[in-house]
Structures are given as C-alpha cells and as structure tokens.
Amino acid sequence: MTPTSSQHQETIGQLYDRTTEMIEKIMGGSLHNGYWDDPMDGASLEAASERLTELMIDKLDASKGRRILDIGCGTGRPAIALARTAGVDVVGVTISEREVELGSRLAKDEGLADRVTFHVADALELPFEPDSFDGAWLFESLLHMPDQARVLRQAYSVLRPGGVLVIANLVERAPLADEQRGRLEASYHDSHIDSIIPLRDYPGFIADSGLALREIIDISEHTMSPTLHRIVERIAGLREEFPEYDGVIEPPPFVARLIETPEIGYAIIVAAKPERLAGS
C-alpha cells in the first residue's frame, strides 16, 4: 500500500520531533546556514546565522503591522527575529509538534507570544484563507518538502496581491554527474531532504506558481563552505566536551557529500504575487 501524503508528513514530523534539538545544538540555535561577508572571517556559526536571518528580513521588506507566514518555521528563531526587527506579526507552521512546542516557548520567553504563534500544519495544505498574509518566507525549508511546486502554489494562494515571498534554499549551481548525484541523493534521508532544485529552473518554477520573480541572488561563496566546515568543527567539539557523544554524534552523511560537491550552492529567491488589475 502506498502511504498517503498525510501519512508521509506524519512520519517526517516524527523524525523532526526526535532530531530537532540535537540539530539546534550543532547549528548554534537556528536550523539554517550562516552568512559570512568574507568566507575567511572568524564569525561564529551563531553570528553568521543571525546575518543570514537579517538578509532574509531585508529582502522580505515587511513594514510594521503586516502579517507574515513562516512556512517550515523550525524552532522559531528567525520568526522571532523577524517580529522583533520589522514589527510584524508572524505565524509559523511546521509538521513537527516538538518544534511548535519549542517555538511557542521561545516566543513567550521573548515577550512576543501575542505577535508570534506556531502551529502544526502541512505546507502542501495550508489551513489559511486566500489573500490572508502580507508576506511569507521559506527559510531553508523548501528542500525538505515533497511536491515543491504545490508548496509554492499554496504560498501564492495565501498571499495578498503584492505580497512578497522570499526563499532561501540549497540549489544545484551546475549539473551533477550521475555518480555524484547518486552519492548525494543516497544521503538525503537522514537529513530529511526531498530534492534540490537546479538554480536555472527557478524562473520557470516561480512563474508556474503564478508568482512574479523579482531577483535571484547566488550567495554560495558566503554560505556553503564556511557553514559546512563549522558544522564539522562543532560536532568534533561536542564529542570532546561530552565524551558520551563519541560514536553517537557524527557529521551527517549529507554534510560530507556537500563538502565534496561544490556544484551544490545556496541562493535567495525573491518573488511577489502580482497586484490585481483595476476591475479584476
């Protein structure tokens, strides 16, 4: 029997429930890459993660009082930063009950529970009315989702005309040899990866959803290599600090595959829902 979409999402949600807090510890609080102005600078993973969040907030260009949807919100740190920096209300959705619990606790601790809320919801079936958000982002979450085209169509539906969608995602910068692709895809499961979209496909991918592409920014040199190497260093440090983790915490196979696959990069994609014409 083929699992239904809801059964698949429930299984993935349970995986996140079990692994999120360890990933958060390794990544320094957030669950996404960092950004280094100079790949050789000495910024920590935590500081670099904050820089990437700041860049995403800047690209979203949301003004005070707007309502923003965080699709695949993780444990909520970017949503908290967005609400605090831009003065917006944020609704975060994830398929992990544990992430909702952690995000809700963080919002309360930061005094933002009235403006930042988290809910269990499937990005393939967003439980919101059409035209109900002024902006949205998929902050390094789209690659984890099956049927990514449907996710974009869902984002289009819930955005108001003129609403901006910002995507931060791993991308395929250059074609992979069959052997490379096979090794990389063999490591997807443990990191909950569904697929990585070629950068060249994004214009059509965005257009097919009904959104209008504004810009694509390849920030691979500022993100991939320094993030990956700091993850490896962080894991080695955790094993040294906590000997009981030795043999338990190892760099995920996906990280090792990315290090040896420079064709995989990182980009920010900005799109918007077109304004309605007068009388339409």
Residue 6 clears pLDDT 70, i.e. is over it: no
Over residues 66-78, mean pLDDT: 95
Predicted local distance difference test score (pLDDT) of residue 235? 77
pLDDT digits (tens, 9 = 90+) for 124-148: 999 999 999 999 999 999 999 999 9
Count the neighbouring beta carbons within 10 Å of the beta carbon of residue 147: 14
Predicted local distance difference test score (pLDDT) of residue 7? 46
**Position 93: which residue type?**
V
Predicted local distance difference test score (pLDDT) of residue 279? 53
Query: Rounded to whole angstroms, how far apart are CA atoms 120 and 234?
Result: 30
Least confident of 37-46, 63-72, 165-174, 193-202: 37-46
Helix (H) or strand (E) holding 165: strand 159-172
Percent of the chain surpassing pLDDT 70 = 82
Predicted local distance difference test score (pLDDT) of residue 254? 87
Question: Would you place residue 4 in the very low, low, confident or very high pLDDT band (cuts 50, 70, 90)?
Answer: very low
The token pair at 237 is 């440090």
Q: Which of 140, 260, 263, 275 is catalytic?
A: 140
- For domain 5-272, the CATH architecture is 3-Layer(aba) Sandwich (3.40)
The residue with greater pLDDT, 14 or 187, is: 187
Question: What count of residues does the chain have?
Answer: 280
* Domains in the chain: boundaries: 5-272
Q: Are 206 and 213 in contact (CB under 8 A)?
A: yes
The token pair at 242 is 């906590």
Predicted local distance difference test score (pLDDT) of residue 170? 97
The structure's pTM equals: 0.88
Give the up-direction half-sphere exposure of residue 274: CA atoms within 13 A in the CB hemisphere: 11
Q: Print burial letters for 17-37: b (CB count within 10 Å at least 16), e (below 16).
A: bebbeebbebbbebbbbbbbe
- Whether 140 is a known active-site residue: answer yes
pLDDT digits (tens, 9 = 90+) for 172-187: 999 999 999 999 999 9
Query: Rounded to whole angstroms, how far apart are CA atoms 33 and 49?
Result: 6
Predicted local distance difference test score (pLDDT) of residue 247? 53
Question: Would you place residue 231 in the very low, low, confident or very high pLDDT band (cuts 50, 70, 90)?
Answer: confident
Query: Rounded to whole angstroms, how far apart are CA atoms 277 and 271?
Result: 18
The token pair at 213 is 């592409």
Over residues 216-237, mean pLDDT: 89
Q: Are 223 and 33 in contact (CB under 8 A)?
A: yes
Query: Rounded to whole angstroms, how far apart are CA atoms 28 and 92?
Result: 20
